[in-house]
Amino acid sequence: MKKKYSKGELSKEILKGLALGGFIAVCFVAPNFAQVAKLFDTKNPKDNWRLKRTLYNLTKEKLVKISYNKKGEEIIKITGNGEKRILKYKYKDLKIFTPKKWDKKWRLVMFDIPEVHKKAREALNFKLQDLGFYPLQKSVFIFPHECKDEIDFVCEHFKVREYVNYFVLTKAENEEYLKQWFNL
């Protein structure tokens, strides 16, 4: 394989490939295992065995389903549980693109999440800090780059969209301090 995958990473890459449709298309055109193995550039029996074992484990965990069409061709499909796992991967890998030139606008995220959703509130708070937001108050965060899609994704992930507000500002108090904080 081109890359040495650590434990669980190969499963993650296979699921992501299925989510993008790459494997399914390959399987319909040339659906045997050798074609799937080409996507990972397997060159030796050990790599092939690892890939087969990973696919087997994914089917055992009910994250993918392997079926056969009338011609006996193998078709690999992602299951509902597999899609949920992919969302977790996307959440973990989420990053905000930072352009080279700042557009001189601030993005403010404010939320008032009820106590009933305390765990989601804490997780959102942690994720915003993890993404590089500056906490102005307990539930008010600021960031200098476009991040609406990422905020929407995180809010949907925690099912708290209705409690979160997103603003674009042209001026912020203590702007010089914020510019220093974000190295602008």
Domain 9-92 has CATH 1.10.760.10: no
Q: How far, in Å, CA of 167 to CA of 68, rounded?
A: 50
What is the pLDDT confidence band of residue 21, given thresholds at 50, 70 and 90? Answer: low
8 A C-beta contact, residue 108 and residue 175: no
Closest by alpha carbon to 155, among 100, 113, 101, 104?
113
> Coil, strand, or helix at residue 171?
coil
Quote the pLDDT of residue 163.
95
Q: How far apart are CA 29 and CA 137, in angstroms?
A: 54
119 pLDDT more than 80: yes
Domain residue extents for the chain: 9-92, 97-181
Write the pLDDT tens digit of every residue in 133-154: 999 999 999 999 999 989 998 8
Look at residue 123 and tell me whether its pLDDT is greater than 60: yes
Question: Can you give the pTM of this predicted structure?
Answer: 0.65
b/e per residue, 81-120, with b = 16+ CB within 10 A?
ebeebbeeeeeeeeebeeeeeeeeebbbbebebeeeeeeb
Cα–chain center distance at 152: 13
Look at residue 25 in the predicted model and tell me its pLDDT: 43
150: Cα separation from own chain's centroid? 10
CATH hierarchy code of domain 97-181: 3.30.70.240
Note the pLDDT tens digit of each residue in 58-98. 888 888 777 777 777 677 777 778 777 777 777 777 888 88
The string of pLDDT tens digits covering residues 88-111 is 777 777 888 888 899 999 999 999
Read off the tokens for 106. 């601030």
Point out which residues pair with 67 in neighbouring strands.
75
pLDDT of residue 62: 84
Residue 53: per-residue pLDDT: 80
